[in-house]
Copies of this chain bind each other. A is one copy, B any other.
Amino acid sequence: MRIHSVSEQERIDRRRAQILAAASRVFARQGFHRTTVREIAREAGLADGTIYLYFASKRELLLALLGQLGRVDERPADFAAMAGVDARTFIDAYLRRRFADLGEWRQLFAAVIPEVLADADLRAAQIEQATPAFEAAEAELARRMEAGELPRRDPALATRVVAGTIIGLLVFDVMGDPVVRARWEDLPAFLAGLWFDGLGSEGR
């Protein structure tokens, strides 16, 4: 393994980022399997072979993108910063934050999710990667339930429902549903209202 000087390493990082950005765009457009390495190279303005100087295989591109996707998710510290805030504000802030982050995400998600769903290894890896975040969320919810700030409900299920709702809406976004696309900005407030107030509480 050669050790690269700092500037050398920087060049390498830049190239890798350039290639990943290109791959993300093309995967999002056409899917992983319908995309050829040549197309990625063209999109990146490079030759076919150059890709292989920075990634061992086409699959490595996917794994690297998956890593990027996961990194955005790794924010257990977020909760700590809002420990003192009341539940409603917390939910609201959390959703706004989430949906703002999603901006960078959407293309990456579209590029990567079909292949994750289709590949058993990636599915397992992804679940594993998500576990700490899930556990942190569960703990935070449990804490607030203990504290009486939220009604007692199953924190594990609640976590899945919250995350699942966001994933599901992203799926509609990827699919091109016009309503979700047009009203993406309104979703955090809508969800906060729904989840906090519920449908039953009329006139609230």
Query: Which stretch from A10-18, A44-52, A73-81, A114-122 is at the chain B interface?
Result: A114-122
Nearest to A164 among chain B residues (CB) is B168
Which of A17-54 touch B at CB < 8 Å? 29-34
**A3 contacts B by Cβ under 8 Å:** no
| Given A127-B175, A161-B190, A202 contacting B117 (CB threshold 8 A) | no
Contact A87 B199 (CB under 8 A): yes
Cα of A154 to Cα of B185 in the assembled complex, Å: 14
| Given A197-B198, A198-B201, A186 contacting B127 (CB threshold 8 A) | no
Contact A199 B199 (CB under 8 A): no
Proximity string of chain A (140-152) to chain B, C-beta cutoff 8 Å, 1 when within and 0 when not: 0000000010110
Nearest to A115 among chain B residues (CB) is B114
Nearest to A141 among chain B residues (CB) is B199
Count, chain A residues at interface, CB 8 A: 67
Which of A154-172 touch B at CB < 8 Å? 154, 156-161, 163-169, 171-172
The 27 sampled A-B contact pairs (Cβ below 8 Å) are A30-B120, A31-B118, A34-B118, A110-B117, A113-B117, A114-B114, A114-B115, A117-B117, A126-B175, A127-B176, A153-B193, A154-B186, A156-B183, A157-B183, A157-B186, A157-B187, A160-B179, A164-B172, A164-B180, A167-B168, A167-B172, A194-B198, A195-B199, A196-B198, A196-B199, A196-B200, A201-B201
Residues of A near any B CB (own CB < 8 A): 29-34, 87-88, 91, 110, 113-120, 123-124, 126-127, 134, 148, 150-151, 153-154, 156-161, 163-169, 171-172, 174-180, 183, 186-187, 190-191, 193-204
Known: A34-B118, A114-B118, A157-B183. 17 other contacts (CB 8 A): A29-B120, A87-B200, A117-B174, A134-B179, A151-B197, A154-B186, A154-B190, A156-B183, A157-B187, A158-B194, A160-B169, A163-B168, A164-B171, A165-B168, A167-B168, A167-B171, A198-B199
